[in-house]
Amino acid sequence: MSTAMKVGAVIITMGNRPEELRALLDSVAKQDGDPVEVVVVGNGSPVPDVPEGVRTIELPENLGIPGGRNVGIEAFGPSGREVDILMFLDDDGLLPNHDTAELCREAFTADPKLGIVSFRIADPDTGVTQRRHVPRLRASDPMRSSRVTTFLGGANAVRTQVLAEVGGLPDEFFYAHEETDLAWRALDAGWMIDYRSDMVLYHPTTAPSRHAVYHRMVARNRVWLARRNLPAPLVPVYLGVWLLLTLLRRPSRPALKAWFGGFREGWSTSCGPRRPMKWRTVWRLTRLGRPPVI
C-alpha cells in the first residue's frame, strides 16, 4: 500500500552551496521505492547545475523561506496535489539512509490522520542531535519518537492534503516560526504531527543566530504567530512567557535591542488573517505536552 503514495521534494537554495546541494540531490535519488520527484527553487539566485530530471525554478527576488517553499509546493500543482507527500529539505542537508521516503509512505499510509512528520537532524561528523532540533519540551532523548506540536522546517514531510485544507506556509513571516504557524493550523483541523528519530537528515551543527535578522524576525513573528492563531485570552500570556524567557537568557545589548524592535513591529504591522484555534485544540496541545503558552 505504501508504494501507492507519490513523494515529491522541495529544496530552496541561495545558490551558494552547490556541492552540498548536489550531495543532497544524490541522496534523494538513492531513495528506495518509486523515484522522488524534486523541485529546486533558486530563492533570488540562479540554481547551480543539477542532475537531469530535477526541475528548477529561479525567482527574481528572495521571498524568504516560507515564500520560496510555497513556490516549490505550487510547482507540484495547486497545494502540491500532483503528489501525496512533500519532503522539505535544507540544501546543505543529506539523507544518509535510503529508506526515508519509504518510511514516509508507510507512516502516512498507516495513519490517515497523520499530517506532518518531523525528521531527526544529526550532525554528520558527530551524530549529535541538538536539543533545539527535537520539537518538544522534553527533548533530552532525541532517539525517542513521539507525537509533537510543531516540526523542523528543513527536515520534514507533509501530506499534501493538509496543505490543500489549511493552506501553505505564511509568506509574510520570511524567516522564523512559519512551521509552528502551519503546525497549529493543521492541529486545529484535526491532523497529527509525529517526530520520528529513525528518519534522519544530516546537517552541520549551526546556531540560528548566524542569520543577521534572527533576533528581530524571531520576536516579530512570535507576536504574529500569537495574533494569528491563539484565542484572545492566551495572546498576552503566550507573549509574556516568551518575553520573560528572552530576558532570562540574557542576550547581548544589540540582540535585545533588535528583539524589542521586532516585538514592537509585530504589534504595529499586519500579521495576515486571524483564525484563532478552537479551545479543544488548546487542550490537545496541552495533552501533547506543549500548551500554547510556551
pLDDT in tens, 88-101: 999 999 999 999 99
Using CA atoms, how far residue 291 sits from 132, 237, 239, 241, in Å, is 18, 11, 13, 12
**Contact in structure between 291 and 281 (CB atoms under 8 Å):** no
Q: Which residue has the higher pLDDT, 1 or 239?
A: 239
Whether residues 27 and 107 share a domain: the answer is yes
Reported as type and span, the H/E element at residue 122 is strand 114-122
pLDDT at 207: 75
Whether residues 218 and 238 share a domain: the answer is yes
**Could you list the residue range(s) of the whole structural domain that residue 237 is in?**
212-273
C-alpha cell at 279: 479551545
Whether residues 188 and 143 share a domain: the answer is yes
Q: Assess if residue 49 is contained within a domain.
A: yes
Q: Assess if residue 254 is contained within a domain.
A: yes
Reported as type and span, the H/E element at residue 57 is strand 55-58
Average pLDDT taken over every residue of the chain: 96
CA torsion 58-217-271-292 (nearest 10°) is 120
Whether residues 194 and 224 share a domain: the answer is no
Question: Which of 202, 231, 246 is a domain's end point?
Answer: 202
Full-model pTM: 0.96
CATH of the domain at 18: 3.90.550.10
Residue 211 — pLDDT band, cuts 50, 70, 90? low
CA atoms of 244 and 259, how far apart (whole Å) = 12
Inform me whether the pLDDT recorded for 212 exceeds 80.
Answer: no
pLDDT, tens only, 41-54: 999 999 999 999 99
Question: Which of 155, 175, 202 is a domain's end point?
Answer: 202
Whether residues 231 and 166 share a domain: the answer is no
pLDDT, tens only, 100-119: 999 999 999 999 999 999 99
Q: Assess if residue 1 is contained within a domain.
A: no
Inform me whether the pLDDT recorded for 199 exceeds 80.
Answer: yes
Inform me whether the pLDDT recorded for 154 exceeds 70.
Answer: yes
Whether residues 25 and 107 share a domain: the answer is yes
Determine the average pLDDT of the residues in 162-180. 98
In the chain, how many domains are there?
A: 2
pLDDT at 192: 98
Inform me whether the pLDDT recorded for 209 exceeds 90.
Answer: no
Q: Assess if residue 190 is contained within a domain.
A: yes
pLDDT at 213: 85
Whether residues 252 and 159 share a domain: the answer is no
Whether residues 89 and 162 share a domain: the answer is yes
- Beta strands (DSSP E) in 141-210 are 146-148, 155-159, 192-202
